[in-house]
A = this chain, B = another copy of it.
Amino acid sequence: MDIAIALYEGFTALDAIGPYEVLGHVPGAQITFVAARPGPVRNDQGSLTLVAEASLAETTAPDLVLVPGGPGRVDPTTHADLVAWLREVDAATTWTTSVCTGALFLAAAGLLTGRPATTHWTARAELARLGATVVEQRVVRDGKYVTAAGVSAGIDMALTLVGVMAGDLTAQAIQLGIEYDPQPPYQCGSPDTAPAELVEFLRARAAA
């Protein structure tokens, strides 16, 4: 199974690496980081550089596509290549997936129109504006389209996907291998459980 993780300047590292770590352990999986041009791609924080091994143009038939998110809206100018590529390769994918605001790219490509989908909680209105039916769940699957909520939700999405693709036992082995027995120090990882002032603070920052 050929898996392409699409990078672009300003992507959020954990959005890509959480699912990468899970999917890479699926027997037979071949993961390639791809970008408009091969070479170094800088993340949103500006302190991390991942290397894209292939261009979008030469990545013509991935079985699974994953788009990580990044702060800010999808810019039709700077992201035109990626959006067009997603529309093209989606015709033949087995799975088309996103983490966080990566869903906005899928939506901009017209792939989520009328479909249930999720994204980072601060980007729900934007995703709805782009035509998706926003569902407030951590992982949302609609046929071959699987979207995850913000950043860390990509780990849950990938494990869920592995369960479907390769069976529960493989997914469980991977979960045990990455010792994914989360014990967050606070109960504030969702806008439903976090203090209201923090939710407002982050919502305002995302809108700015």
Minimum CB–CB distance for A127 against chain B, Å: 14
Given the interface contacts A13-B21, A151-B178, A179-B150, does A186 sit within 8 Å of B201 by beta carbon? Answer: no
Pick from B21, B45, B156, B176: contact of A194, CB under 8 Å: B176
Given the interface contacts A13-B17, A47-B24, A152-B155, does A189 sit within 8 Å of B181 by beta carbon? Answer: yes
Chain A window 1-13, contacts with chain B (Cβ cutoff 8 Å), 1 for yes, 0 for no: 0000000000011
29 A-B residue contacts at CB 8 Å?
Answer: A12-B21, A13-B17, A13-B20, A14-B21, A17-B17, A20-B48, A31-B47, A48-B50, A49-B53, A138-B183, A139-B183, A149-B181, A151-B179, A151-B180, A152-B178, A156-B184, A156-B185, A159-B186, A160-B185, A172-B186, A172-B188, A172-B194, A172-B195, A173-B201, A176-B194, A179-B189, A180-B182, A180-B189, A181-B184
